[in-house]
Chains A and B, each alone.
Chain A
C-alpha cells in the first residue's frame, strides 16, 4: 500500500521544499484551465508524465496511479461526448490527466510532515483569531497514518467473520470497524497527550 504516496528518494523534486512544489502545482492548474486548445492541453500530458518519472518512480507505478482515476476521467470524456463535443472531452481529459500526474509527483516527493508544516504556515495568519493551525497539520498526518491501521482492522474483521461462516453483509463489517476505529482514536488521543503534545 502506498500510503501518503511519499517514497524515499533523492530526485530534484525530493530536494525541493514543499512550498515551491505546491505553488508550482497551483500555477500549473491555473495555466491548464486557461489553455483552450485541446492539442496544447494534450501536449501537457507527456510533460507531466516526464515530471512524474523524474522522481525516480517506475513507469509501472505511473500506470497504477492512473488506474484509479481512469474511471472518472473516462466518465468525464463520455459526458462531454454526450453533451458537448469530442474536443471538449479531450481538453477535460488532458487537464485532469496532467493535474493527476503533477499532483502525484508532488505527493511522491513530499513527506507528510513537510506538507503538514506548509498547511500550518498557510493557516498561520488565522492564529490571531484563536485558530490552531498545528492541529490541522496534525489531523492531516493522523489521517494518513491511520489508513493502514484501519485497513488492517478491516482485514482482521473480515477474516474473523469468514472463519465463522459470515460474509457479504456490509453492516456486519462496518459496525465493528467503526467501533474499533473509535477505540483506536481514544488510545491515540491518550498517546498524543502522553507524548506532551499541547500539555
Chain B
C-alpha cells in the first residue's frame, strides 16, 4: 500500500473525499446565505433550520407518503422555499426598515422555534433515511473506493452552485438581483417589483439550504438539531471567504471542507476546530476575507 506522509493513500483519499463532500455542503449553504445577504442585507440565522427542514421533510415524506428520493429532491426545496417566502412576507418584511441586527435576531428566534418544535416531535436521536437503491454500492478507482452516492452529491452540489452562479451573473433576472443589491429604490423606480424580488430571493436562498438538506439525508444523521452546529461552521466559512462574490463562497466552502478532511487524517483532535482557526488567521492577516471587498 502506498503511503503519503505516513498515511495510507486510501485513507488519505477517503478523508479527502469526505472533505470535498462536507465542502460541497458548506458551499451550498454559504451560497444561500450570500444570495440572501446580497439583497436583504441580513444574515439568515434560520439557515441551519432550513437545511434541517429539507432533510426532515425528505425523511418524513418517504416514511408517511412513500415519496421517493428524486421527487423529494424537487419537492422539499419547493416546500421549504415556500415556507421561506411566507416567513419573509409575514415577518421579515415588517422590520425591513430597521437596523439589520433586528432581522438577524428575528431569524434566530424563528430558528429556535422550528428546531424546538421538531425536537419535541421527533427527539434528538437521528431519523433513518434509506439510501436509494440505485446509489447502493460504488466503484473502485484503484487507489480508493468511491461510493456512488458520494460522487452524486459532489456532482449535484457543483451543478447547483454553478447554475446559481450562472443565473446571478449571466441572466437578466440575475442582473435585477445585482441591481437590487446596489440600489433597490432606484430599481423600484424602474418599475421592478422589488418586494416580490426580495420574497423570492429569500425563498430561493432557503431552498438552496433545503436542497443541501435532501442531499444530506442519506449520509448524515437526520435530527432536528443537525442544522445549528453546521450553521456556525458555515458562518466561519462565510467570514473566511467574504460574501462579496458568489464564486468566492463556493470556492471557500469546498476548500474548507478539504482542509477539515486533511486535518482529520493528520491530527484528528483539531478537526472540529480547524475551520475556526483558519478564520482567526484570516482575521489577523486579511480581515476583509479571502474574496471580500468590504470589512
Task: Decide whether A and B assemble into one complex.
Answer: no
> Contact residues of A with B, CB < 8 Å?
none
Which B positions have Cβ atoms within 8 angstroms of A?
none
